[in-house]
Structure formats: structure tokens, C-alpha cells
Chain A
Amino acid sequence: MSAVLLEARGIGKRFGGVQALKDVSLTIKSGEIYGLIGPNGAGKTTLFNVFTGLYPRDDGEVLFGGSPLHLESPHEVAAAGIARTFQNIRLFGNMTARENVMVGRHVRTRAGVVGAMLRTRAERTEETAIRRRADELLHYVGIADRADDLARHLSYGDQRRLEIARALATEPKLLALDEPAAGMNATETAGLRDLIEGLRRDGLTVLLIEHDVKLVLGLCDRVAVLDYGQKIAEDVPEAVRANPKVIEAYLGTSAH
């Protein structure tokens, strides 16, 4: 529980003249649920996109599992063991739920064009394994019965679950969830909470960005708070809740 999985040092990111992130450092330990909260525009999703290779960073470095993480391209980040979901769900709409998860296995499998054309034994074995793993994951997130439905036909809550299943298929060490509860009703949020707790029980490390402060404080082992692109707090939920800086940041901006 104590080993550091991800360590960010002095991350900075500018968009034109706007300093979206400034000198953000944080450490995520193996096996914990680490929350990232902050008012709108605080830089949560930007930091997230830097971690997952979607944006190049301007300053700082990220150590993952003790070695520097190449943040040049998202697929390398996925290969290194960070998987993510998107705030505005991004599924492959015209593929079935099962196929969506099977795509997630891409980075851990290797069959190429020639193998596929000749249907070699290795390719068939691998396909079977991919399919089996996809079905297991669909079962794990609780949407096994929707395996053959097109992703775009799933309900909102099921789409969230499917996205998580696809991310899990890449065998991540760190699962990064970008506002997974956004737009969910109370029942769906409760289900999601159970799912995330299950992930922790199974030993996965989770980075959670969330707007729903109650969910974050109730679920996370530790929480970092961003405001105007800077980290203003990082601690256990109770301490963060009592931190005057955090209260000010939320009261100061939530008045709008």
C-alpha cells in the first residue's frame, strides 16, 4: 500500500498565454483511490490529459513505477499501464460492447495482418483469449447481457461501465477516471461507487477526477485539490475537508 506508483514533479502546462497548470507535484501510491478535485477550470482535466499523453507538457516530469514515463503519445502511456476514461464518454459507437472491450486488448496482444489473413494457430488462440477476457470484463462491470449491443445503444450508466471495462482490458496499473459520475442519477452513482470500491479490493490503483465532492471524499484514500492550476492541498479526505484554503477556493468560486 505504501509503494509510490506515480510521481509527478513540477508539472506545468500553458495554452498560449494561459498558465493552465503551474508546478503541480503529487504522488499516487499503489492500491489507493486518489481523488483530484477543484472548482471548474482548475486544471483537473488538463492534468489528466498530460498524464495520459494527450497534451504534451511544458515543464516537469512524471515517474511511473519508478521510471520516467514517456508522455509523447497516448498509446505508449496505455502500454506503460495507465488507462483512462473520458469526461464526455468516448466509445466506438458502431461497435458492439464486446468489440469495444476487445479493442482494449489491442495493446496487450500482437497478432498482425499476416496472422489474420492466414488465420494461424497463434492468431486463433489469441482471438479466443481476447474474446474470453472481454466477456469476463463485461461481466465484471455488470453489463454481460449487453455484450452484442452497439455501444451507442447502451444506457448512459452502461456506457460509463463499458468505458471502464475497455480501460481495464488494457491491464492498467493505474486507472484514471475523468468525472465518471457526471450526469448519473443517484442509483447509478451508487452502483458506480460499488464498482470503484471493487476495483480497489482487487488491487487496482485509481485516479479519480470528480465534481461530486461527496462521492470523492467518501471514496478516496487521499485527495488533492487544484485551484487556478496549482495544487492547494493534498491529504486524507477529513483533513482536506477542514482545510481553509480548500473551503475558500470552493466558496470563492461556487458563488457564481
Chain B
Amino acid sequence: MGMLKDMGHREKIGLALIAVALMALPFVLASAGTAWVRIMNFAVLFVLLSLGLNIVVGFAGLLDLGYVAFYAVGAYVYALLASPHFGLHLPFWVILPIGAAVACVAGVILGAPTLRLRGDYLAIVTLGFGEIVRIFMNNLSNPINITNGPKGINRIDSFQIGPVNFAGSDTLAGLVFSGPIKYYYFLMLVLLAVIVINRRLQDSRIGRAWVAIREDEVAAKASGINTRNIKLLAFAMGASFGGIAGGMFAAMQTFVSPESFVLNESIMILAMVVLGGMGNIWGVIAGAVLLSFVPELLRYTVEPVQMALFGKMLVDPEVLRMLVFGLALVLTMRFRPAGLWPETRHRRELSENRA
């Protein structure tokens, strides 16, 4: 890996320590309860989604408010191909690429006619697209039952690698690997791959073209960039990542329904990207982890505090969560438009000023 070469001795040790900590983390969490491993897994899933959306919003500067639609497409592809609903039970390593491909096609279908529109129009068209996909999932149970409507699809297969099924527990060398722990390791592998891909894309000919379009579309065109195709590429890439994340969501959850793919999910992913720092991979990851744990944080603080003070729940943590996301968007734009962890380029220039 290229990035290892650039690192000093100390950074390598630091990286190794982080890797060991991440390897041990699920067992630590499991000792507090398997629920915590699940929460962690969903946080990682949202990191994946944020990294996908980051390509579209952060790199290419295209505001996509219907990103959850691609997540939904991936999830439903998995659900339909690995559940009793159609009686199909394909292995996950076949379905995930199919899901990515279908989501990618959906991205191109949405992007091709709309990408020549100005940024804010694109935002609202993607918003409408997200709603259309949800409405279709809700209603494609008639006259032929494809999605099973609002009831959703149940009993979706878990991952299976050889004899190891991700639904149950296995014991290896005295350690109990529960289902969520196995998913955790799988997610970590995918995450690692996605991070490497993102970094490589960022420092590539295509990645530079994305940023150039974000910075000044007219100048990008004049510099010989076919902006329409390059934007379409960003859309397609982002959508594929969403599709893969969706497939894993379906398998981990073993159940999908249109309820999981509402606009608020798109907003949440956007908030993660914006808060962390559009365009900066590590910032986006930090933003996603931070905001993923907000609901849990609220559950463990706001609820007991309210119960102690008022003896009842006045403010639902779920509502507070959305208020926090809304505020995060507004305040970040107002006070730290580049996010909490801005792109390294900005940081580089800050350290220069200090020197």
C-alpha cells in the first residue's frame, strides 16, 4: 500500500496499535452486551455510506439528497435474492456485486438526465428520486408481489462462508465469535477496502477531475474535462458503495422494509459527511462515527436525566437526535464550513501559517 511508504516509524507503530485495538474492540464491546457490537456494526455501515456519499458531495460537489435510494436498492436486491420471498438463496458474494451494479445503474439513470442541471436543482431532483424509490418499494406488491409492500421482506439469509454461518456463534481458540462479531470483522475488511479505494481515487486523474468540477465547473471544462461524464462517474461510484452497504444492511438485519429508507436517513448521512469535513476521508469517518453514537449517547443521558428531573419522558431521544443533526448541519455551515476535520490541504496551509 502506497500510504505506508510515506509514513514514519512512529506513525507505523501508531497504526499498528489502532489495528490491534480495532481487532479487540468487538470482544470488549461484547462484554458490555452484544447489543453494543450491533451498534458498532451499524456505525461502521454508516461510515461506509458516508464514504460513498463523500465521493458525490465531498469530491465532486454534487448535493445528493436521495442517496438512501441506492442503499435501498442494494438492500432490496439482497433481500429478493436471498430470502424465501422468491425462494432464491444466492450466496452473498454473488449478490453484493449484483447489488452494487444495480445501484450503479440506478445512479446513472438518475444522473444522466439531471447532471447538467445546476447544483440546487440537482439536490431537489435527487430528493424527489429518493421519494419515488420509496413509494415504489411501498407499492410494488401489486399486481405482482415484488417488494411485499410496507410489510417488507422477512427471513433474509445471513452471510455464509463455507461452514461458517453469520447467524450463529462459533468458538475458536476459546473465543466466542457471535454473529455480530463476525459481521464486525467482515465490515472492517470492507471498510479497509473502501478507504483504500477512496484514497486512491482521491489522488488519481479522476479524483482531481472531481475536485476541479467542484471548485470551478467552467474552468474544468475549459481544461478539457468532460464534466458530464466525470460527474456521472461520481454518481455511479457513490451509488455502488451505497448498494454494497445496503446489501450488508439487509443481511445483518435479516429484514428490510421501506421504513428504513426515508429521507431522514439521507439527511443523516449528509450530516455525517458535512460535519466531519466534506472531501476529507478521515474527517468523514470521524463524523460518521460521532453521529452514529449520538442516539445511544442520548439514550443513556437524556432519558435518565429526564426521568430523574420530571419523572417522565418529555423529549423523545429520537426527536433530539434529529434536532442534533439539523443543528449540526446549520452550525457547521455557519462556523466551520469545511467541517470539524477539514481536508488535509487546508490543514497543510494552516500549519504553514504557523511556521
Contact = CB atoms under 8 A, between A and B. Distances in A.
Interface of A: 52, 54, 73-75, 78-79, 83-84, 86, 90-96, 99, 102-113, 115-117, 119, 123, 126-127, 130, 148-150, 153, 166-167, 169-170
A52 B225 contact: no
Nearest to A105: B205
B20 interface: no
A90 B216 CA distance: 7
A248 B345 CA distance: 52
Contacts, number: 116
B1 to A, nearest CB: 9
A215 to B, nearest CB: 23
A99 B218 CA distance: 17
A70 to B, nearest CB: 13
Interface of B: 2, 197, 200-201, 203-209, 211-212, 215-216, 218-227, 233, 237, 343, 345-346, 348-349, 352
Contact of A113 (B220, B221, B237): B237
Contact of A103 (B220, B345, B346, B349): B220
B200 A52 contact: no
A148 B205 contact: no
Contact of A95 (B2, B205, B225, B345): B345
A67 B224 CA distance: 19
A125 to B, nearest CB: 12
Contacts of B201: 113, 116-117
A90 B206 CA distance: 20
Contacts of B203: 127
Given A110-B205, A149-B352, 6 more contacts: A92-B219, A99-B208, A116-B205, A116-B206, A116-B207, A150-B345
B355 to A, nearest CB: 13
A116 B204 contact: yes
12 contacts: A52-B222, A78-B223, A78-B224, A90-B216, A92-B220, A94-B346, A95-B208, A95-B215, A102-B208, A105-B205, A111-B205, A115-B204
A247 B211 CA distance: 46
Nearest to A99: B208
B209 A103 contact: yes
A106 B200 contact: no
A106 B204 contact: no
A112 to B, nearest CB: 7
B220 to A, nearest CB: 7
Nearest to A109: B205
Contacts of B237: 113
A104 B207 CA distance: 13
Given A92-B211, A92-B215, A107 B206 contact: no
Nearest to A86: B219
A57 to B, nearest CB: 17
Nearest to A115: B204
